[in-house]
Structure 1
Amino acid sequence: MKSNLDLINESDSFPYYEDNPGKYIKFRSSYWEFHLRGGSGPHGYMPQYVFERFAEMPWVNAWDIDFSKKTLTPGPGRQEDIIREELEQAKKKGVFEVLNRGWRNELYPIYGHNDPSEKIISMERAGSALFGINSYGVHMTVFVNTPEGMKIWVPRRAKNKQTYGGYLDNTVAGGLSTGEQPFECMIRECAEEASLPEALVRSNAKPCGTVSYIHIRDERAGGETGLVQPECQHVYDMEIGADVIPKPCDDEVESFYLWTVEEVQEALAKGQFKPNCALVLLDFFVRHGILTGDNEPDYVEIVSRLHRKLPFPTS
């Protein structure tokens, strides 16, 4: 059985310098820094083996590469076009499974160091983990207050999903594309994944901050492992009546369950939830007084780890 701190460590799995400087430096040395022209620092971390696979393609000729500093920067030309063309070529040649299985024709933004509110470029979502850039999403916990106590709507991901097939999820969740506002993204995902009407969501969903972490992908995510995913999730809560029942609308959700808090906690301890969804639920438990300093010995560390400062510019 996993403790709540185990769940944190599983999702926020990139090491901290403060915990062990030597270990951190050794780990970081196995990654390349992805830079953009005109930027003042890195925008992502790329594993050594990913760099080597790219370097076997004509890819290397379109980039400025510093082998001593292990940095790569798009060369002359429009940076967004260079990245898109190389990802498309890698997909065509079948170089990376994450591109073969997960290409979405959906763009993720990369923001600048000098003005974090300004998007520099966008990148195909499926390639974002190869470059290790910050990504953003929305997660909502939908709950019902019943005479027996609070119950939470929990979906099971379709078994054929590219990532974490068959795992439990937050009630509604999805990636935030370039140009999309978080709440509008949530409205869309509610309709697509849970058949929840727009009017209901606009009237009842409440923004509750963010959860951030740096995850290192393992085999459950599908495709290549060791990829770095710094993520920031915009978190929402929504209380609904017993007469409202989420239903799968697309092929991403298999079924929904209405579970007590104790049933959700048991499934978390058994590792049945997608790792980042566990963090969102722990944040929900903290905010609703379910998880406290009186019943959780690692409470202070858990709360602080739910809001990691990301290493690259955020919007």
Structure 2
Amino acid sequence: MANSGWSEKVLQLLRRMNNFYLPGSFRAHCFRFEVDGAQVGWIPPHVAPLLTRYPDVFSPPRGGAVALCPGLDTYGRRSEAVDAVLQTLRQEDFLTCLRGWRDEQYSVMQKFSDPPVMWMERAATSLFGVKRYGVHLNGYTVGEAGEVSMWLARRSNTKQTYPGLLDNVVSPASTHTVRTGVSYLPQVNEADVCLQAAGGLAAGVGIKHTLIKECQEEACIPAAIAERAHPVTTVSYTYEDEEGVFAESQFVFDLELPLDFKPKVGDGEVHDFYLLPIEEVKDLIATEDFKPNCAMVVLDFLIRHSFIEPDTEPHYQDFVAALHQTL
């Protein structure tokens, strides 16, 4: 039977990462963020009053929604107008998320496959609850006796978010961003091994292309190996905190790595890589030592590869449902 203590800790993690859906969240008090009649996010109750100061950019709240003014009818006009508002709010320095300004332009759209309606500074996305996308790689190896291991990365202590925690092979930066015209992604881990890579998708750049690029940059995984990765699922969740609403969806890939391959620290996003037996990795995702959304990606791997089964895990259905929560 499953370890009840482990199961409860994982369930708590999943509830925390989906707390926007739980009773008592501020979801009922959020405003839909609409652009050209389509909802592209959620505006928290503490943010909506600030936007009324800019009537040339945001229409007054009406019918539970805040919309961009109709005159902002192109990608460029919307982006520039909203960015000017955000720059002003940044100077006022009372929205803590804007202190982490990154100069990364994040594409805003209703669905990932839709053309973007505008771009927004990445640090501001939680103020509007726009969906953020990433890509993660489960890099694993299978030993001669059939044993599976996974590479985990230890995030650099200088990372702006979750410094020093365990991570996927390539660690996530959000998807669909552009940084001075350059795209970038997540990080990787090794093992006899499930290697995990995660990271952001640059605007206008394909998911697989981003994965291959980031594998090379962050974990020194050659393109010839990274190209063998195949898409397996998405992991989606929405949580709230004092900085706003975080609606995220991660494209997940699996890659069986050669037994003699070892990822190496590339661009400094990772402190080190570890190759661990899959049972040890399973134990680790229930600890505070693991970056929460990356723990969810590992959990999904464990379920898909039958390391967690419905006959022995009482929360099996809860786990599966919580990994695929969409707005």
TM-score, normalized by length of structure 1? 0.83
In structure 2, how many angstroms separate the alpha carbons of the residues matched to 1:54 and 1:255?
Answer: 43
> Residue 213 of structure 1 is aligned with which of 209, 234, 237?
237
Identity of aligned residues (%): 34
SS at match of 2:16: helix
Q: Is the 8 A contact 2:153 2:272 kept in 1?
A: yes
Letter in 2 for 1:85: A
Q: Aligned residue for 1:123?
A: 120
Q: Deviations over 1:46-97 (max 9, x none)?
A: 2222334555xx545532112x644322223322221122222333443433
Q: Is the 8 A contact 1:108 1:176 kept in 2?
A: no
Q: Is the 8 A contact 2:107 2:116 kept in 1?
A: yes
Q: Aligned residue for 1:281?
A: 298
Letter in 2 for 1:136: Y
Superposed displacement of residue 256, structure 1: 0.7
Q: Is the 8 A contact 1:107 1:177 kept in 2?
A: no
Q: Aligned residue for 1:20?
A: none
- The question of 1:150 aligning with 2:140 is answered no
> Higher RCO, 1 or 2 (CA under 8 Å, sep at least 6)?
1
Letter in 1 for 2:19: S
In structure 1, how many angstroms separate the alpha carbons of the residues matched to 2:51 and 2:57?
Answer: 11
1:1-315 aligned within 5 A: 2-3=6-7, 4-15=10-21, 23=23, 27-36=26-35, 38-40=36-38, 42-53=39-50, 59=54, 61-66=56-61, 69-75=63-69, 76-77=71-72, 78-101=77-100, 103-112=101-110, 117-147=114-144, 149-171=147-169, 172-202=197-227, 204-217=228-241, 225-308=242-325, 310-311=326-327
In structure 2, how many angstroms separate the alpha carbons of the residues matched to 1:95 and 1:177?
Answer: 29
Change beyond 3 A, Cα 1:69–1:232? same
SS at match of 1:48: coil
- Structure 2: any 5+ residue segments left out of the alignment? 170-196
In structure 2, how many angstroms separate the alpha carbons of the residues matched to 1:53 and 1:93?
Answer: 12
Superposed displacement of residue 161, structure 1: 1.3
TM-score, normalized by length of structure 2? 0.80
Q: Aligned residue for 2:187?
A: none
SS at match of 1:238: strand
**Cα RMSD for the two superposed structures:** 2.3
In structure 2, how many angstroms separate the alpha carbons of the residues matched to 1:120 and 1:93?
Answer: 27
Q: Deviations over 1:277-302 (max 9, x none)?
A: 11111110111111111221111221
Is 178-187 or 77-86 further displaced after alignment? 77-86
Q: Is the 8 A contact 1:53 1:95 kept in 2?
A: no
Q: Is the 8 A contact 2:165 2:289 kept in 1?
A: yes
> How many residues matched?
288
Letter in 2 for 1:74: L
Superposed displacement of residue 112, structure 1: 4.2
In structure 2, how many angstroms separate the alpha carbons of the residues matched to 1:213 and 1:176?
Answer: 17
Q: Which has more helix, going by share of residues?
A: 1
Q: Deviations over 1:163-222 (max 9, x none)?
A: 1111111112111222121111111221222111112111x21211211111224xxxxx
Change beyond 3 A, Cα 1:184–1:116? closer
Superposed displacement of residue 2, structure 1: 4.8
In structure 2, how many angstroms separate the alpha carbons of the residues matched to 1:52 and 1:252?
Answer: 37
In structure 2, how many angstroms separate the alpha carbons of the residues matched to 1:28 and 1:111?
Answer: 20
